[in-house]
Structure 1
Amino acid sequence: MSRSLVSLRCALPSDAPQLAVLWSDVIRRVEHDEQVADLVSVIESAAISDTERLVVAEYDGELAGAVYLRITPLSPINLEPTVQAISPHVLPQYRRKGVGRSLMDAAVSYAEENGVGHLATAAASASRDANRFMARLALGPQAVFRVATTHAVRSKLTAQRPALQRTSGRQLTHVLAARRSLRRAQSTSS
Structure 2
Amino acid sequence: MRPGVQVRPVAPADLEGLVELCLTARAESTVGAQLCSADGDRLRVQLGTLLAVQGGQALVGLLDGELAGLLLGRVVGPGPFTDDVSLHVEALYVRPSTRRRGLGHALLGGALTLAEEAGASELYAVHLPGARGVQRFFARLGFAPAAAHRVVATSTLQRRLAGEHVRPGGGRRGAHGLEDLIARRRQVRSETQSGPVDLRELHGTDVPAAGRGQGTGRSSISRQVSRAVASRRDAESSSTIS
TM-score, structure 1 length as denominator? 0.71
Match of 2:128 in 1: 124
* Structure 1 residues 84 and 166: CA distance shift in structure 2, 3 A: farther
CA distance in 2: counterparts of 1:33 and 1:136, whole angstroms = 36
Larger radius of gyration: 2
CA distance in 2: counterparts of 1:28 and 1:139, whole angstroms = 27
Q: Which amino acid aligns with 1:129?
A: G
RMSD: 2.9
TM-score, structure 2 length as denominator? 0.57
Match of 2:153 in 1: 149
In the alignment, is residue 39 of structure 1 matched against residue 39 of structure 2? Answer: no
CA distance in 2: counterparts of 1:35 and 1:129, whole angstroms = 25
* Structure 1 residues 76 and 148: CA distance shift in structure 2, 3 A: farther
Structure 2's unaligned 5+ residue stretches are: 27-34, 171-204, 206-242
Match of 2:36 among 23, 27, 30: 27
Structure 1's unaligned 5+ residue stretches are: 170-182, 184-190
Match of 2:166 in 1: 165
Q: Which has the higher strand share?
A: 1
Match of 1:85 in 2: 89
SS at match of 1:111: helix
* Structure 1 residues 14 and 79: CA distance shift in structure 2, 3 A: same
Paired residues in the alignment total 160
* Structure 1 residues 92 and 136: CA distance shift in structure 2, 3 A: same
Preserved CA contact (<8 Å) 2:85 2:122: yes
Match of 1:8 in 2: 7
CA distance in 2: counterparts of 1:130 and 1:166, whole angstroms = 49
CA distance in 2: counterparts of 1:158 and 1:41, whole angstroms = 34
CA displacement at 1:104 relative to structure 2: 0.7
> What does residue range 109-120 of structure 1 map to in structure 2 within 5 Å?
109-120=113-124
* Structure 1 residues 126 and 77: CA distance shift in structure 2, 3 A: farther
Match of 1:99 among 95, 98, 103: 103
CA distance in 1: counterparts of 2:143 and 2:61, whole angstroms = 21
In the alignment, is residue 60 of structure 1 matched against residue 64 of structure 2? Answer: yes
